[in-house]
Copies of this chain bind each other. A is one copy, B any other.
Amino acid sequence: MPQSPPSPHPSRSSSRAEGAAGLARELAPRGAFPAGRGGSLSSRIVAEIRDALFDKRLAPGDFLGTESDLATRFEVSRIVARDALRTLQALGIAEIRMGKGGGARVARGNTALFAEALAVQLELTGVSAEEIVDAQRAVECLAAELAAERATAAERARLTELLAVAERRIGDRAAYTRACRDFHIGIAESSHNRVLVVQLVSLQHVPWPKENRTLTPKVARHIHEVHRQLLALIEQRDSGGARRLMDEHVRMIRARRSAERDSKRSAGRDGRESADRDDRQRGTSDPRTPIEACC
């Protein structure tokens, strides 16, 4: 049944032909699992491809083959290859396209996907809002410190722009919260450390976007002032000062959140303002107050 998998079009789509040709020797099942050491067939394919990635025999953008290709290459059925691709896709390793010229390719880094993975894990672990905000403090303090040391002129200009955008949003709670979050992420990006960016985005992804009730215009103006000072410290390359101010800033956010949570709890069920559509049967002592994206 296998209908000539190799060498479809030697001339056109060079990247694809080249990638597929390379894979034929790079990705072939090495050692030919004799008495199958591990679990399922699909998990072996996943392990094989992941190892190839870590060994740099695969790089983002490389063509992995179609379902049929992989099935032929690993001598399994198409469903097994499909299972493996589903897993690789969920892990963010593979991107799959339908239709002619489609197939699986090694994905580029996908921050959003990873952020969701972290969110899931934190949810499953059942962490509290305080734990998340504290971790945010860890990440953002260092981000501010490094941004002060390393931000380029272009990045400083961008932060200035983000700050100006946020100022215009004061008054609109949702919009200001978003602008505020973008400013914080901009600082993380200016740190030239992508790990910090990923961690920060993840943590801000955990709490679903919600209304921020204590974010009055007065509070927003105070936050804006702090952000202005923060940017000034970064422009002065005062890494210690930026770090301290950010520390204080996030501590304040934490305190406001805790207060908000407590007031909500004590206020009880007076006005049915919570847009939660169903009262959770499980939630007697919900440890997880929904918190907002940034400020």
The chain A residues found within 8 Å of chain B, CB to CB, are: 4-6, 42, 50, 53-57, 59-60, 79, 82-83, 86-93, 106-111, 113-114, 117-127, 131-132, 134-135, 137-139, 141-143, 146, 192-196, 198-199, 203, 208, 276-278, 280-283, 286-287
Knowing A54-B208, A117-B114, A282-B192, the reply to whether A198 touches B125 (Cβ < 8 A) is yes
Q: Are A92 and B124 in contact (CB under 8 A)?
A: yes
- CB of B131 within 8 A of CB of A54, answer no
The residues of B that contact A108 with a CB separation of less than 8 Å are 124-125
Report chain B residues within 8 Å CB of A286: 56
A31 to chain B, nearest CB (A): 12
Q: A86-B83, A280-B56 are in contact. Are A198 and B134 (CB under 8 A)?
A: no
Q: Are A92 and B121 in touch, CB under 8 angstroms?
A: yes
Chain B residues positioned under 8 Å from A83 (CB to CB)? 82-83, 86
A189 to B119, CA, bound (A): 20
Contact B87 A135 (CB under 8 A): no
A53, B120: Cβ atoms closer than 8 Å: yes
- Chain B residues whose CB sits within 8 angstroms of the CB of A141 once the complex forms: 138, 141-142
Rounded to whole angstroms, the CA-CA distance of A57 and B6 in the bound complex is 44
Provide a sorted-by-A list of 24 A–B residue pairs whose CB atoms are within 8 angstroms. Answer: A6-B126, A53-B123, A53-B124, A56-B283, A56-B286, A57-B282, A60-B278, A82-B83, A86-B86, A91-B117, A91-B120, A92-B120, A93-B120, A93-B124, A109-B126, A110-B124, A122-B194, A122-B198, A125-B194, A134-B142, A134-B146, A135-B199, A138-B138, A138-B143
